[in-house]
A and B are shown apart, each in its own frame.
Chain A
């Protein structure tokens, strides 16, 4: 069964460093998303991406964040200058066709900022 994959599974970085989180969505999906979940808290939407551009973003997704689909398979989230409060699980998701269709999530990347 096709699945969303994410790398790395755990990333440790120092405050102020740049990190890139990588995702490979399901191959025939057209809509891509990033969410995050701070330990013990709710899942929060960051951004959605369709047709090579951001279709929606939350207030969390400020100028420190960017997304890219550099080739036909990868979808990346970059955080330019990490802060302690960026420590969280980051989940990538993808969906086929309709934006309101079911979303399929990857296993997540645990980002730890020290």
Chain B
């Protein structure tokens, strides 16, 4: 799987939007961009995924650059419950089953 690069940590104020960046300059045409998060002392949780077009769901939005070499996870109005480690993961549409995890971005929400 291609590699992703994320900042180690980010801080944001409660009730403000948060933009979490991910660089994946070696992404291939068949790689999907997946985001998961892990709240403290919990199992990972699926957030969103996309291929080329921007995606929205009830949890977040995913903005994908036109060249697909980067993407941004957008939390429109962060709450204290969104404090977690956020992982950007590339998954080949043809390949394997496993998720390969990096270190992610630790999101700190300030009240």
Q: Do A and B come from one complex?
A: yes
Residues of A within 8 A of B (CB): 4, 31, 33, 35, 42-45, 48, 50, 55-56, 58, 91, 93, 99-100, 102-108
Closest to A58 in B: B98
What residues on A are CB-neighbors of B95 within 8 Å? 100
| B8 CB to nearest chain A CB (Å) | 13
Provided the pairs A100-B92, A102-B49 are in contact, do residues A107 and B98 lie with their beta carbons within 8 angstroms?
Answer: no
What residues on B are CB-neighbors of A103 within 8 Å? 44, 46, 99
Complex: how many Å from CA A23 to CA B99? 19
Interface pair B44/A56, CB less than 8 Å apart:
no
What residues on B are CB-neighbors of A107 within 8 Å? 42-43
Q: Is B45 an interface residue (CB 8 A)?
A: yes
Interface pair A104/B101, CB less than 8 Å apart:
no
Interface pair A99/B97, CB less than 8 Å apart:
yes
Closest to A31 in B: B97
Residues of B within 8 A of A (CB): 32, 34, 38, 42-46, 49, 87, 91-93, 95-103
B interface secondary structure, majority: loop
| B76 CB to nearest chain A CB (Å) | 20
| A92 CB to nearest chain B CB (Å) | 8
Complex: how many Å from CA A108 to CA B45? 12
28 A-B contacts (beta carbon < 8 Å): A33-B97, A33-B98, A42-B101, A42-B102, A42-B103, A43-B87, A44-B101, A45-B99, A45-B100, A48-B97, A48-B98, A55-B97, A56-B97, A56-B98, A99-B96, A100-B32, A100-B92, A100-B93, A100-B95, A102-B49, A103-B46, A104-B46, A105-B43, A105-B45, A106-B43, A107-B42, A108-B42, A108-B43
